[in-house]
Every structure is written in C-alpha cells, then in structure tokens.
Amino acid sequence: MTSDPLLQPFRLKHLTLKNRLMITSHEPAYPEDGMPKARYRAYHAERARAGVALTMTAGSASVARDSPPVFNNILAWKDEVVGWMRQLADECHEHGCAVMIQLTHLGRRTRWDKADWLPVVSAGHAREPAHRAFPKKAEDWDIARIIADYADAAERMKDAGLDGIEIQAYGHLMDQFWSPLTNDLDAPYGGSLENRLRFTFEVLEEIRRRVGADFIVGVRYTGDEDLPGGLTREDGLEISRRLKESGLVDFLNVVKGHIDTDAGLTDVIPVQGMRSAPHLDFAGEIRAATQFPTFHAARIQDVATARHAIASGKLDMVGMTRAHMADPHIVAKIVAGEEDRIRPCVGANYCLDRIYQGGAAYCIHNPATGRELTMPHRVAKAETPRRVVVVGAGPAGLEAARVAAARGHEVIVHEAAGDPGGQVRLAAQTPRRSEMLSVVGWRYAECTRMGVRFAFNSLADAGTVLARDPDVTIVATGGLPHVDVLAQGSDLVVSAWDILSGDVRPGSDVLIYDDAGDYPALQAAEKIAATGARVEIMTRDRTFAPEVMGMSLTPSMRELQKRDVTFTVTWRLEAVQRAGNALLARIGSDYGGVARERRVDQVVVNRGTRPLDDIYFDLKPASSNGGEVDYEALVAGRPQSVLRNPQGRFQLFRIGDAVAARNIHAAIYDALRLVKDL
C-alpha cells in the first residue's frame, strides 16, 4: 500500500488502471508496412513491463485511404492491422498495462502526393501552412464515407482486444469541422457551433453503434485554439460539456493551441527552455467544469509535476510521454524509491523533430528507445571484469564509463577540464538550453554511484593511459571547431564556439557563416544580436538550420526575429580580407556565376568540428586491434574480436566526435552499442 497519488488506481468505466501514469498517443514512426510489428511492440512492451498503467499507441492511426500519413503511421483502415494490434495488446496486457489507440482522419494535415495521390479533404479550402496542401471541400458523400471509415477502424480495434480508442480532434479533420477558421461549409455541417460539431457526433454515434456501450471511447481535442478567429476558451468549455453530456465518450484528453504551423505545434508540445506544464491549469479548468475523467500531457517531464497534477485534482491520468522515451522505467523507479535515478527528459525534442522530417523518433540521450530489439535499457554484467580507461568526459565518454561500470568493469576516466560535460557545457551557455546539462549530470551521478574513478584537469597522453595498464581504452576526446575553410582570410574569422565561450567579444555588424546547420550558429547569433548588433546568418544550404529542425527552431526564431537579424540562404562565404578597420567578405554561390561582398566588423564561422584524435593515433601501435572496429559485429551485437597485433596490450576504440562531427545522440549510441558487449 502507498499514499503516493501517482500510484493510486483509477477506475475508468469498467477498466481499473493500476496507477495514474500514462503514455499518451504518439507515433514514433516505428511501423513496418503501416503495421505495428516487432519493433513497435517491443517499444510499448518495455514501458508496460516497467509499470505504466496505460499506453496509447499511434499519433494517429489513419482511418481512411485518403488520409495518407506524412510520416510512418499505423494504417487502421487495413483489416490486417487487427492481428498486429492484438499481439501488441496481448504483450502489454501480460504486464497489467491497458492499451488504447488514437484514430484520426488527417483532413488537410497531409499531402495529395502521398500514398495513392488522392485529393486532400477538409471542411474548407484553406491550406495548412505546415503541409502546404490545398484541400477539396468535403461533399456529402465524403462525410458519409469518412464516418463509416471511423467506425470500421474502431471495430477493428475492438476486435484486436484493445481496451479503448481515442479520437483525435486537434489540427486534424475532426476539428477542422469545429473551427471557424477552417470550416466554410453550409448547414448542416457549417455555420453555428452545433452544426460544426455535427460531424463529430455522427462519427461517435456510428462508432458506438458498432462497438457497443462498454468499449471505452475518448476524444483528444483542443479546448482553445489560441488563434484570432478560432475556437476560444469558452468554445472549448462548451464543447467539453457537450462531449460529456452526449453519453458517447468516456474521457476527455485536453490540449490547448493549434498545430498548423511549427510555432503553433511547439506551443502545444513545448520544447527545451519553454515553460513546463503550461496547459496543466487549463486542463484542470476543463475537469472542474465537467467533473468528467480528464487526461492531459504537455511537457510534464518530471515526477513532481505529475504528482502535483493528480494530487491537486487537475487530472485523473497524467501523460509523461517524452519522459518515458527518455526513461521507460519511470514507474518502476518510483515504486523502488529511486526517483533520483530517473533518466531525465531534457526537452531536446530530437524525438518529435525527427519524425516531422521523415525519420524515426529517438531520444537525444537514450539510444535504446526505439531499438529495444537490439539495445538494452538495463545493461547486463560481463562474465569477466576488465579495466577500462576512458579519455574524455563528454556525453560519449560518460556513457562509455556508465555502461562499462554497469557491466562490472573497473573504469577510470581522464578529463582535461575541471568538470565533466565537454561540448554540452558550451551548448548550455544559452540559458534556454541549460537543461542539456542533465545529459551530463545524470551520467556523472550514475558513474559515481557505481564507483567510476575520475581524474579531472588531466590532459592525458599515451603515457598516461599506458600507465593505467588498461584492457580497453576508449578515446572520447571530441573535436575542435574547423574554421580553416576559406580561400583567403581564415585567420580573420572566429568560431561560433569563440562567441559562446566568451573568448571573443561580439562585433557590432556581424556575418555568421553557417555551413553545419546545427545549434552553435543559432546560439552565437542570439548572443551577438542580444547586444544590439546587426547580424546576418548565411548558409549555402537551401534551408535554414536543417539540423536543428522545426520545433526546436521555434524558440530561436522567436528570439532572433525580435532583433536586427537577416537570414540568407544559397550563398557561401569564399574569402575574407581586411579593409581598413572593417572586414570585406567575398561570397559566391554553388549555383555559379555570381559574386557579392559584405562589409562587416566580424565574421563567425560554424562548420562543425574536426576530431581531437592525437592520443588515439599515438596509442594505435600499442593496441591489439589497431583501433579497428568490426562493423558487422557492432551492428549484430557481438563483442569486438579484431586482432591485428598479437603483442598489443589493450583494445582501442574511439567514439563520438573524436571520430567525426555528429551529434549527442550519435555519440551516446556509439558508446552504448560498443561497450554493452565488452
């Protein structure tokens, strides 16, 4: 027995949920052929095994052929989905975890050139900025067809043994009917709020007719579009009351805002540096007004906030979805009294940003998420303990040390700086990105708990490592900025790191040449522009900051657009020379035949890093494998057994940016998949 509000059961209709923590509907883009096969099931089963009460799959599963996913979603309009969903439900039910799925018709939130190239349909002709498709206005036969599609999909999910479904009504077809901004229809489906809700209630009525009164049905919807001319808070309260009073739904899952633009989506699902739980009070108002089961999730990334949401009566079930991507074992750690060991969600949003660019969702610092079939969330002990020396205490080095220690090895880490963190400490110089320090802090705490020894202010060389007599040496020394990139004048430019570290003061008229497309250029621009300087950010790419991606770009754009900042694409920096007290920057284009100049007082270059790898090459001759990695073994999850030098004293590996400039996820993944088999 426990008095923890989060661990109290909740009765939803006939279903008893064993605690108050849930994973809200989301699509990590793991389906294969539109089906939740082994990888998808393993992802949900891992979290079910750890104790979450309810997992909601799909965000969202498509109910109709003319609702083609814009990334890899479940296709609920196919009969074959029943068998796959039944397997998923059975695997989660084994651990006492309820399973639901979110169903939708995307309406205009897709593209006509996907899947079968069918016209996009909506309640009006207005284009959605995010996906840029101009829809046809729904006809009577479209409405009748889609109502049947929803009911067919719901029936499939009941047949699959799921505990319930959730209908999606924010940014998709359902609330495209609701909103005055998107509904241009005449009566009976346009005009008054009652008319605009008619489609929804006809869908719900048909679903109920098919699945019966006992099957659980809920709606996830916007209670306030937060847009001029859109659905207001008052509209949302009225919609909430009508949903409850209809008798057709069993729970409300409330969001606030709109998702038709990157900025709007980011406000609905806030990212790093934005306020935690910004819509929790609003969801609480809905619950207070309706006295009806209310769920909610939006940047509730820590257990304390989740506990408050339940204890204060604002919610009946609290969603910690991205938090469970960072650590699937949140509930198990709460039960064990180990909340301090929960791997924190740092809001980097690598997960969602990737899927909106057509990739699969990965956590910025838990590479086992989405790779449950090949990567462990819990690391097994090795048969034989070994001595492992790690050089560098950035994300890659700390992860290598953590995993090696979990394997039972003796681990020593040398770090040239006085603190762990590497490039992460530089990234955290921007206050909005200070949460990134938790990537370091969590690993350092885990390493300390397991007895890893750290030697700080230790600029290790080959002799330092050899004196430790290691069985394995892992070089995780990262890289240094590469600015020697110009035909002339590389000595006249500074790096983005120089600005962020404070080693170089910002100029007053600055050209930032971003040839990497990642965070340092943006962060340098923010720091410089905040002084009142004029800033131009230039890239040879045809898109701006492509490695940062849409949702994570939003806070930067909000900051930069308030300043004197210009964004220039498709031009490249070629040379810099002095011109009196100024600098003359010569620029050209990959498209050829043009040349221009910029007269500024500072040029900042962001072109990634080059490996800081001297110690690796100094150690190669003494190693048994010559630094070679057997990629086939690495990918297959087998130990490294390359032997190039029988007299070698140790295995040698390098990981992260000490190999090549990539990102935090790549560095940590390097470490996990290498060291888990040592």
The answer to whether residue 650 scores a pLDDT higher than 80 is: yes
Residue 62 forms beta bridges with which residues? 75, 104
Count the neighbouring beta carbons within 10 Å of the beta carbon of residue 467: 10
User: What are the CA-CA distances from residue 152 to residues 65, 134, 587 (Å)?
Assistant: 12, 27, 58
Average confidence (pLDDT) over 69-81: 95
Task: Give pLDDT, residue 357.
Answer: 84
Three state DSSP letters for 310-362? HHCCCCCEEECHHHHHHCCCHHHHHHCCCHHHCCCCCCCCHHHHHHCCCCCCC
pTM of the model: 0.95
Q: What is the pLDDT of residue 614?
A: 97
pLDDT at 302: 95
Q: Pick from 494, 570, 495: which is nearest to 538 by CA?
A: 570
Residue range 214-261, pLDDT digits in tens: 999 999 999 999 999 999 999 999 999 999 999 999 999 999 999 999
pLDDT at 390: 98
pLDDT-based confidence at residue 139 (cuts at 50, 70, 90): very high
Q: Which residue has 């500024």 as its token pair?
A: 600
Average pLDDT score over residue span 11-35: 97
| Structural contact between residues 579 and 585, judged by C-beta atoms closer than 8 angstroms | no
Closest CA to 549 of 356, 366, 346, 369: 356
Neighbours of 227 (CB within 10 A): 17
Contact 129, 261 (CB under 8 A): yes
3-state secondary structure of 87: helix
Separation in Å, CA 282 to CA 6, 237, 273, 298, 620 = 20, 10, 20, 11, 60
Sheet holding 509-514, edge to edge: 494-495, 602-606, 509-514, 534-539, 565-569
Write down the pLDDT at residue 665.
Answer: 97
Q: Distance between CA atoms of 135 and 237, rounded to whole angstroms? A: 29
What percentage of residues in the chain have a pLDDT greater than 90? 98
Q: What is the pLDDT of residue 369?
A: 98
Confidence of residue 1 (pLDDT cuts 50, 70, 90): confident
Whether 101 has a pLDDT exceeding 90, the answer reads yes
* Cβ atoms within 10 Å of 195's Cβ, excluding its own: 16
Q: Report residue 672 CA to chain centroid gap.
A: 19
Note the pLDDT of residue 133.
92
pLDDT for the residue numbered 550 = 85
Mean residue pLDDT across the chain: 97
* Residue where the block lists tokens 């390493």: 447
Q: How do the residues of the chain divide into helix, strand and coil, expressed in percent and rounded to 5?
A: 35, 20, 45
pLDDT at res. 587: 97
Per-residue pLDDT, averaged over 45-54, amounts to 98
pLDDT (0 to 100) of residue 222: 97
Q: What is the pLDDT of residue 655?
A: 98
Give the model confidence (pLDDT) of 524-560 as tens digits: 999 999 999 999 999 999 998 999 988 999 999 999 9
Do residues 104 and 167 lie in contact, with contact meaning Cβ atoms separated by under 8 Å?
yes
Q: How far is CA 100 from CA 37, 216, 590, in A?
A: 16, 9, 50
**Token output for 185:** 């229809």
How much of the chain, in percent, has pLDDT values that exceed 70?
100
Residues 6+ apart with CB under 8 A from 3: none
Predicted confidence at residue 522, as pLDDT, reads 96
pLDDT digits (tens, 9 = 90+) for 580-610: 999 999 999 999 999 999 999 999 999 999 9
pLDDT tens sequence across 435-469: 999 999 999 999 999 999 999 999 999 999 999 99
Query: Which of the four pLDDT bands, split at 50, 70 and 90, describes residue 125?
Result: very high
Strand 15-17, strand 10-12: pairing: antiparallel
In the structure, what pLDDT confidence band is assigned to residue 169 with cuts at 50, 70 and 90? very high
- What is the per-residue pLDDT across 500-511, written as a single tens digit (0 to 9) for each? 999 999 999 999
pLDDT reading at 520 higher than 80: yes
Judged against a pLDDT cut of 90, whether residue 189 lies above it is answered with: yes
487 class by beta-carbon count within 10 Å (0-12 exposed, 13-18 middle, 19+ buried): exposed
At 357-408, the pLDDT tens digits run 889 999 999 999 999 999 999 999 999 999 999 999 999 999 999 999 999 9
Mean pLDDT on 612-634: 98
Query: Among all chains, which residue has been given the structure tokens 């079930």?
Result: 317
**What secondary structure, in 3-state letters, does 436-466 show?**
HHHHHHHHHHHHHHCCCEEECCCCCCHHHHH
pLDDT (average), residues 471-485: 96
- Residue 474: pLDDT band with limits 50, 70, 90: very high
